[in-house]
């Protein structure tokens, strides 16, 4: 069966992004590689390896590019959490930015929150007990 392996996002400061995803979001740096000929570095972060069925995030740093126009096509990454309320407190305490406080989705009961990474990418936190249901 096919498996979603990773989502790639371009970042302006690789060390800052790795620190956010590992120190603040609790992921692990799984691997990192550099391509000097084409001037980019890749770092893969996640809660577990793809070989365990986990999807990961590929952070791509193109040397010399410190920011990107995020456009309006990309929405967000989503992460299931056991307790989004405690997670948001921990993210805030670690210096992360919560942009939507935890609580029920508008017009529904699914509990969500949003945080933002250092490059402005949105990350939705969904209470795990309802993470596989449609939002509502």
- The CA angle 43-121-33, to the nearest 5 degrees, is 10
Residues that are catalytic: 124
85 φ, ψ (degrees, to nearest 5) = -70, -50
d(CA 80, CA 72): 24
Determine the Cα–Cα distance for residues 70 and 41; give it in Å rounded to an integer.
19
Pick the closest to residue 98 from 81, 109, 107 (CA basis): 81
Residue 106 DSSP one-character state: T
What is d(CA 81, CA 84) in angstroms, rounded to the nearest whole number?
Answer: 6
Backbone angles phi, psi at 102, to 5 degrees: -65, 145
């Amino acid at each position: 069966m096919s498996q979603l392996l990773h989502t790639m996002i371009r970042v302006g400061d690789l060390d800052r992004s790795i620190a956010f995803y590992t120190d603040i979001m609790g992921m692990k740096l799984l691997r990192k590689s550099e391509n000097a000929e084409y001037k980019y570095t890749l770092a893969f972060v996640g809660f577990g390896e793809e070989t365990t069925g986990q999807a990961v995030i590929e952070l791509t740093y193109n040397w010399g590019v410190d920011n990107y126009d995020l456009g309006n096509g990309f929405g967000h990454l989503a992460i299931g959490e056991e307790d989004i309320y405690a997670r948001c407190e921990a993210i805030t305490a670690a210096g992360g930015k919560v942009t939507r406080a935890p609580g029920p989705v508008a017009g529904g009961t699914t509990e969500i929150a949003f945080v933002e990474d250092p490059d402005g990418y949105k990350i939705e936190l969904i209470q795990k007990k309802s993470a596989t249901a449609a939002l509502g």
